[in-house]
Structures are given as C-alpha cells and as structure tokens.
Structure 1
C-alpha cells in the first residue's frame, strides 16, 4: 500500500502544530490538515503557563515567545486572593500573557522549517483503518481525495470530526452559558496585565492583545441567552463596571460574539492507529487558562513516542502509554478548572464573602499556594512509574546545569533540543558510554551541580530512569524502560 505521509494530523491549532514540528524535526513525514483558510478569532487563549514555556525552551522557542507578551508573577483568583507564581521551581516563574496567534505563528514557522506540510482549506471527512495504515477522506479546494498514513492524530477541536468518525464518547456538560466576548479599544490602561473579578452576578475578564486591542469576556448570571443571540457592547461595559469597578472607557468593538463553555473528556485517547489530542480529547472551562497548555503537553508526550515507534527505536507498546499518562492529566485539569469556575461564579451573599475569605487565607499559606501553583502551571504533573522503579520516575525534571563541552549545551533543556533522550551522568574521569541499544536515540551530558547519580530524561522532560549508584548501568534500550501494559492503566498524576 502506498503511504502518502507517515503521520496525518487533523487541525493546525497549537496542539497540531507542536506535534507536527516535533515529528518533522525527528525526520518523520507529516501532513497537517486545517479546514480554516484564515485565522479564527472565536476562541483564543492568552495564558502560557510555566510548563509550556519549558517545553518551548526545549524547542528553542521560549525567548521568541517571551518577547510577544507580558509576564505575570501573581495571578488573581477571587476577591483579594492572589496566587504567587514567583515561587515556582523553574526558569519561568510566571504566567506569560500573549495572544494565541503569537504561539501559533511560532509553532507554524518551526513546523514548516522542519519540513511539515500544512494544508489550509483541507478538511477530513471520513476515515477507516486496518492493522497497517489509516485511510482518510479529505475534502479541499481541488476536490476530494484519499490520503494514507501510518498514524492519524485528531487535534481538530471540540467538534472533532476524527473523534466522531471513531465513535468515541465525549461525555460532559455545559459549564457556563451565554458568555460574551468582544475585542475593544480602551480609553484608560488597566493597572494590571489581567483584570478579572466576579461579584456574584457579573463576571468580567480583560486581557491585552499587545497592539492596543483588548479581549473582554463578560457574563451575567441574570441574563442567559442562546449562543446566537446578539451582543451589545453597552451590556458588556455595564457588566465590566459592575465586576471591575470601571469599564476603562471601552469603545469601538471590532468583533463581538456569545458562546458557552463545556467540560468534557473523551473516554479514550486512542483507537488503533488513531489518536486524539488537545480539545478533541478534552475541553475545560477557561478558568485557570489550562486548555491550550494541556493540549500542547499532549502533543509533547505523543510526538516523541510516534517518532520512536516509526523509526524502529521502540515497540508499538510505547504508544499505549499515551492514554495511560495523558488521560488522567486531562481529568485532573477538568476538576481543577471546574472548581475554579464554580468558585468564580458563586452568587452574591454569605457564600461570596466566605469564598473570598477562604481563598485569601489559603493562598496566604505557602504550602497551599505552592500546591495550586504547581497544578495550574503544569510543573507538578507526573506520570506513573513502573512497579519497582525509583519513586521519582515520571516526574518532570528541572533545568539542571550541565558541564558544557566544546560549545555544547550548558543546561538540560538546551540539551533536549536534540529531540532525544538525555543521559545525565555525574562528573567523573571516565567518559559516558551510552548502551548500543540507544543508537541515534540518546544524547549524553555531565551534570554540573556536583550531585551524584545518573538520570535518563525523556524528550518531553520527564524522568525515565534514575540511579543513585554511579556503577549502575542505564537501561539497555528504550524498550527496556517501558512498563508492563497492566502497570500503566488507571494511573493518577500528582499535583
């Protein structure tokens, strides 16, 4: 059978673009189908969390993206309660506020430069698969054709045609309805990068695009209308004044709409040779700004696994770990964002007063603040370790300092730009000799923090193996690091 592309990706949002860039950089041929012919303004994320910035750093994109937005070290939750992100154990102890189109632009340039093919105006309308390949029916400007691929990834959003074609359930409910959006100019500059508050009836959120335009989101508990109901800027301004104390002189709306936000998760992230990622797999309330970030982390998890299997460096069983690792993370994000949303939309009265008091006291306790910051930022996400493995296996590895040699990387996340596993060994007289079974899949480095022990770090920055004894040899191959299938099911990530 002729294979037109090794991996076919439906959807050129952030999730699909990061995945395409990772695959193409690894030498895997991939094609991205995007039904849009122009940029959509309907749902745009503004928050790039610390863990996502680490993943961008491992791809050489972090500095570029940091130049497009503003850094927020304290995130306002309810009333006067603020989450201190400056305590996060990372090079990026903040939230980056930047419009999603900056993220997409950086990822598009990287994917295209690496050789990924991106087709706009192309929509997947059907698929079937056998043990060897997936056949996708694609409708585009030139008509309908069939593409064959080894694997297919549906990153095509909440209304995913891939998920529908597979018949995978997407249970959940509408978390909030009749939310109004508008892009506006302001006569006065807000005092904070992000402005957000709810007073029991009115909710308002304000974020900058960085070019003089602002996105405003408003909600009225007493006025719940269908998505197609018209939106009036005067109503949005009134709600903003009630929630934030002022509307900052908003005027000249260039776009307005109304939508509802769902909380849903696919029952399975994989069916045979087809995978789901991003909003096609899970959709959350906007509270906490985790939606886009979770999808990007799906892609970072799946990309290196597909590349390893396609290049013969790992058995097909590696792909089973995608569901085992990412489905529990999606469920946890649903719980966290849902709790934040319900807290934000509490009605007026004693419950509102209690919410503000409890939130202020809780975030003032360093241990509680840190736990929530780790969870929201993604820094605290860990994957299940095989039985008998070191307890730190599965955790995210910080950006360790390395002993640079001949102009090589001087820290871990720079070394991860190779897209390979990184074997980090303690400083010593003998050179590091990677096992023969890792040929082409492993980069070696020497830690410069003076600590003993060796680490094997996955391409997505999570710990695969650790040894405290310098004489313990690393796993003989990638396959040797895989857990038994029955040890991956039902794992729950730690916050």
Structure 2
C-alpha cells in the first residue's frame, strides 16, 4: 500500500504527484502497511480552516450526509471588522442554498459597477442575473453566518486545533494536531489561508510574485464636503496611484492610500497612520474620523501548482492569493467550495466516477489563473507610470462601449465563467440564471445540492439517477432550449432532448444509475 507522511519537513519532489486514490473503491478497506498504526476512519472529510471557504465546503458536504470535521487553529472567531463584497455569482450561490435571506440584512447593496481598476462606469445593460449588485458585508459576519450554516447541517467545528502534520495512504489520511492528538478521515482539505500549513507540508509549489507594494485600505468618516474630496482626488490621481476616497453611503468613505513608511506590516494600521499618509500624498487628511475598519495589504500574487495530491486537496487562499483589487478573493474561495463539495461527496457516497474529482482542478485552476491575471492588469492600470496612465485613459474610453463594460464586470463578478465541457451551445458549461419556473424560481429547487433536469418537452426522465438528480417538467419555463441538466453548482452540463444522449451525460457527471 502506498503511504506518504507529511510532518515538519515537506516531502521530496519525488513524493509529490502520486495519486493514492487511483483505483480506490468506496467502502473497501485495504490491509494497512506493516507497522502502520491508524485510528479508525471516524470522519469522511477533515477541513483545515473555518473561514468562508472551509465553512461553505463543510456545509456543501453535509448536504450529502458526509461526516465532516472543521479544524480551526484560532480559538475565537475573527474580530477584524473589514468589509468584504459578495459579487453576483456568490449571491447566486447563496440563493441556491437558501442563504441569501439570511445574509442580506447584514449587508449594504451597491451597484454592480466601477469594480475594474476603480474606473467609474455605470452598471452595464443586460447583466444576466436577478442579483446584479454588490453586497458589502463585514467579514466576521459572513464568516459567522457560514459557520452557523455548516453547524446547523451537522458539521463539527473545533477551535484552537492546529494541524501540524498528516500521513496519507490508500484508505485515508491521519491528521496530527498540536498537542499530539491524531485523527483519521478519508480526505483532508486545506482551507487554511495564504500561509497554508497543509499546502506547505504537502510540498505543492506556490509560484508567483512576492509582495512589492503595501497599501492601506479602510472605511471611515470624512470632515470635508464631497466636492472638495472629488477635486483633490482628481488632482492627486493625475500624479500618484493607488489613491482614492470613494463614498460608501451615509457619510462613510472607502479610503486607499500607499503605505510607504508605515510601521511593522505585522501590526494593524491605525487611524493616525491614515491621516499621516493622506497628508503626505494629498496635502490634507480630509478630517478622517470614526473608522469602521482599517487594513493593510500587499500585492503578492501566487497560484498553487496543484489543487490535489492523492487524498489531500486545497481550496481558497491556500490555493491562490492576489491583491484585493476588484474584491474577488473571498468570492473565488467560496466558489471553489461549491465546485468541490458535491464532487468530493460523490466519491465518498460511492456514486461518482473516478474522474469526477479530477475536474475540480481542471475547472477551478484556470479560473484562478484568470483572476490573478485580471488583478495584475488592474494593478498596472493603477500605476502612476506614464505608459500605464495612457493605457488607463484608453481603456476608460473603450468601456463606454456596453459590450466592453459588461465583459469586464462579468469577469470580476464571475458570471462570465464557462467551464470546458466540450463542443456545444454557448450555454453549455455556463451557469444558468435564476429563471422563473412553475414552482417559483429555479434556484429554490437546488437547495439540497443535487443535480436537476429541467424538461420543457415533458418526455425526458432521470431514471436510475433519481437518488441524486431531481426532475422538473415545465413546458412554460423561461428557457429557449428543450431541456437542460444542471449540476449541483448550477452549471449547465447538458442541453437537448435526446434521452440516450442525456443518459451518457448523466453517467459522466453522476456515475452509474442505481440498480
């Protein structure tokens, strides 16, 4: 039996890349290697990290009755009050799982515009979503809501438990915690952030660019009229970037200013740091006061070479980091969780094809590459260099074309993603909007995390896949194709009206039919 141990030192390069799950059969237990001392398989999945990605993944797994343990090294939830933005695609996913009504009262809606390099443009026409806005919400609040959701579904969360090592074999993963406790599960998923212990111990490369520039960001009140602020921002914007003060509602402004000369990057910035930097850059501190939250970030940009080694996977910031330009980071991680959850659950429940888990990296790695590229591009557009300023002026003109403006917003908000499912209509591989159906709205039918066949012909059937795929016959559905098969993450896996062709695609995504 193949076995790999990951403790204080990462394995040699020869040990990386061997897939210890190749050929494994759910429910079949192989004999342990000589001298191996494994605890019973108490859990199906252990997740390292209880941030938004880890909590959402735990909830997705629990929809399929997977035994989940979430380990969080911090003893208390984060109290760092930073406002994060939920973009359109994340709001759609929340709606699919019945979470949107829980989240909305805690946030503030903003137009879905002005995200790309902070270029001020109106909301483009024709955004194909019922949730075409940004929801600003405090990060501790969204973390708490998602953790509560996972716990309500039956996930276990243990705080103050740091992963310091693990060993994987053909049957599962033995996870070692600080203090000597050892736990056993079938899979381990590292959702433990940019400095991921799981990724480092796994020996997965994290290539990219280190942080070169530090920036202060926060939300606070200001003490001068808006007209004066706008004039000064225009004046300074011609000579120095990144720098802006943008209204955020009710007298509050989002403030961004270079962090050059501000103390220890390990220490959170103070309001006085902002005042000093504003005076240095703009000649005035704008009378800033009453901060909601203050933060400091760098522009490090990195992407894990692999999202999976055997029974250990990576998601969220453990797999990718980038500057917060455009507010895509939390969204990218939550969407990783939605992509991975049902696939991992399918392997554990025994119905998923062996190749299904491989599609997690095949689909999500290119998405992260695109996010990293667009944040690099935005960073260049925020540069004070003459060439970058010229390109910014040109792009500002081009964004007056609705198609250009819409394309960039779809990129930032992730509604433009199309997974490669092979040849087919343009809708294939894309997410389907929340259309009206005879039972209300489409997303209300996806709350159990199952597939869905929407049949306008009333002649199709899911047959032996009914234990994992729901069926709705609705000739009045707001759709211009005869039938669509949706995956649990809302992406279109098949379009047509031929039952045999449908059966092939049901097998591709949901395994063999039940007896």
Q: TM-score, normalised to structure 1's length?
A: 0.84
Structure-1 separation of matches of 2:160 and 2:249: 29
Structure-2 separation of matches of 1:79 and 1:172: 24
Is contact 1:52–1:293 with CA below 8 Å preserved after alignment?
A: yes
1:63 correspondence with 2:122:
no
Structure-1 separation of matches of 2:226 and 2:105: 20
Kindly tell me: are residues 283 and 206 of structure 1, through their superposed partners in 2, closer, same or farther at Cα, counting changes over 3 Å?
Answer: farther
| Counterpart for residue 98 of structure 1 | 137
| Counterpart for residue 5 of structure 1 | 43
Is contact 2:452–2:485 with CA below 8 Å preserved after alignment?
A: yes
Structure-2 separation of matches of 1:38 and 1:187: 35
Counterpart selection for 2:193 from 154, 157, 162: 157
User: Which piece of structure 1 moves more, 166-175 or 448-457?
Assistant: 448-457
| Counterpart for residue 469 of structure 2 | 442
| Counterpart for residue 132 of structure 1 | 171
| Counterpart for residue 329 of structure 1 | 367
C-alpha displacement of 1:172:
1.2
C-alpha displacement of 1:283:
0.4
C-alpha displacement of 1:200:
3.8
1:277 correspondence with 2:315:
yes
Counterpart selection for 2:445 from 415, 420, 444: 415
What's the secondary structure of 1:327's corresponding residue? Answer: helix
Structure-2 separation of matches of 1:135 and 1:209: 47
1:168-203 C-alpha deviation (Å, 9 max, x unpaired): 0101112443323556555579799xx998554353
| Counterpart for residue 401 of structure 2 | 365
| Counterpart for residue 74 of structure 2 | 36
1:475 correspondence with 2:513:
no
Is contact 1:60–1:417 with CA below 8 Å preserved after alignment?
A: yes
Structure-1 separation of matches of 2:252 and 2:73: 27
C-alpha displacement of 1:80:
5.8
Kindly tell me: are residues 288 and 196 of structure 1, through their superposed partners in 2, closer, same or farther at Cα, counting changes over 3 Å?
Answer: farther
Kindly tell me: are residues 211 and 481 of structure 1, through their superposed partners in 2, closer, same or farther at Cα, counting changes over 3 Å?
Answer: same
Kindly tell me: are residues 186 and 300 of structure 1, through their superposed partners in 2, closer, same or farther at Cα, counting changes over 3 Å?
Answer: same
| Counterpart for residue 421 of structure 2 | 385
Is contact 1:269–1:276 with CA below 8 Å preserved after alignment?
A: yes
Give 1:50-199 correspondences, 5 Å limit.
50-73=88-111, 74-75=113-114, 77=116, 81-82=120-121, 84=123, 87-139=126-178, 143-181=179-217, 184=220, 186-187=222-223, 198-199=237-238
| Counterpart for residue 456 of structure 2 | 426
What's the secondary structure of 2:421's corresponding residue? Answer: coil
What's the secondary structure of 2:502's corresponding residue? Answer: coil
Structure-2 separation of matches of 1:319 and 1:444: 24
Kindly tell me: are residues 129 and 233 of structure 1, through their superposed partners in 2, closer, same or farther at Cα, counting changes over 3 Å?
Answer: same
Is contact 1:78–1:344 with CA below 8 Å preserved after alignment?
A: yes
| Counterpart for residue 308 of structure 1 | 346
Structure-2 separation of matches of 1:460 and 1:150: 23
Structure 1, unmatched stretches of 5+, are: 405-409, 484-495
1:110-151 C-alpha deviation (Å, 9 max, x unpaired): 101000001111110001100110111012xxx331111111
Kindly tell me: are residues 176 and 40 of structure 1, through their superposed partners in 2, closer, same or farther at Cα, counting changes over 3 Å?
Answer: farther
Kindly tell me: are residues 373 and 358 of structure 1, through their superposed partners in 2, closer, same or farther at Cα, counting changes over 3 Å?
Answer: same
Is contact 1:402–1:446 with CA below 8 Å preserved after alignment?
A: no
Structure-2 separation of matches of 1:245 and 1:88: 40
C-alpha displacement of 1:315:
2.3
Structure-1 separation of matches of 2:450 and 2:301: 35
Kindly tell me: are residues 459 and 324 of structure 1, through their superposed partners in 2, closer, same or farther at Cα, counting changes over 3 Å?
Answer: same
Structure-2 separation of matches of 1:72 and 1:177: 28
| Counterpart for residue 395 of structure 1 | 430
The alignment of Structure 1 onto Structure 2 pairs a total of residues equal to 465
Is contact 1:218–1:236 with CA below 8 Å preserved after alignment?
A: yes
Is contact 2:356–2:509 with CA below 8 Å preserved after alignment?
A: no
| Counterpart for residue 491 of structure 2 | 462
Structure-1 separation of matches of 2:298 and 2:135: 25
User: Which piece of structure 1 moves more, 69-78 or 47-56?
Assistant: 69-78
Structure-2 separation of matches of 1:132 and 1:371: 45
What's the secondary structure of 1:37's corresponding residue? Answer: coil
Is contact 1:202–1:240 with CA below 8 Å preserved after alignment?
A: no
Q: TM-score, normalised to structure 2's length?
A: 0.81
What's the secondary structure of 2:44's corresponding residue? Answer: strand
Structure 2, unmatched stretches of 5+, are: 1-38
C-alpha displacement of 1:88:
1.5
C-alpha displacement of 1:5:
0.8
C-alpha displacement of 1:478:
4.1
What's the secondary structure of 2:503's corresponding residue? Answer: coil
Is contact 2:493–2:505 with CA below 8 Å preserved after alignment?
A: no
